[in-house]
Amino acid sequence: MIQLLYTVIFSEMALIMTLLFKTPLRKLVIMSLDRVKRGRGPVVVKTVGGTVFVVLMSSVYSMVKIQRRTIEAGAVNPTDQVLMSKHMLEASLMGFVLFLSLMIDRLHHYIRELRLLRKTMEAAKKQNRSFEEGKNANADELKSLESEITKLKTKIKELEYEHEAKEKEFSTCKSEAEALKKQSEGFLLEYDRLLEENQSLRSQLESLDQSVPQSEGKKNM
* Tens of pLDDT, residues 77-129: 677 777 777 878 888 888 888 888 888 888 888 888 888 888 888 888 888 88
Domain holding 97, by residue range, is 2-137
- Is residue 54 a part of any domain in this protein? yes
**Rounded CA gap, 201 and 190, in Å?**
16
- Is residue 58 a part of any domain in this protein? yes
Q: What is the pLDDT of residue 212?
A: 61
pLDDT in tens, 49-91: 888 888 888 888 888 887 777 777 666 667 777 777 787 888 8
pLDDT in tens, 1-34: 778 888 888 888 888 888 888 788 888 888 888 7
- Is residue 133 a part of any domain in this protein? yes
In the structure, what pLDDT confidence band is assigned to residue 215 with cuts at 50, 70 and 90? low
Q: How many domains does the chain have?
A: 1
Q: What is the pLDDT of residue 52?
A: 84
In the structure, what pLDDT confidence band is assigned to residue 205 with cuts at 50, 70 and 90? confident
Residue 135 has pLDDT above 80, yes or no: no
What's the first-to-final CA gap in the chain, in angstroms? 157
- Is residue 91 a part of any domain in this protein? yes
Burial of 33 (0-12, 13-18, 19+ CB in 10 A): buried
- Is residue 190 a part of any domain in this protein? no
Question: Who contacts 80 (Cβ-Cβ below 8 Å, separation ≥6)?
Answer: 66, 69, 70
* Mean pLDDT value of segment 131-155: 78
- Is residue 144 a part of any domain in this protein? no
- Is residue 221 a part of any domain in this protein? no
pTM of the shown model: 0.51
- Is residue 214 a part of any domain in this protein? no
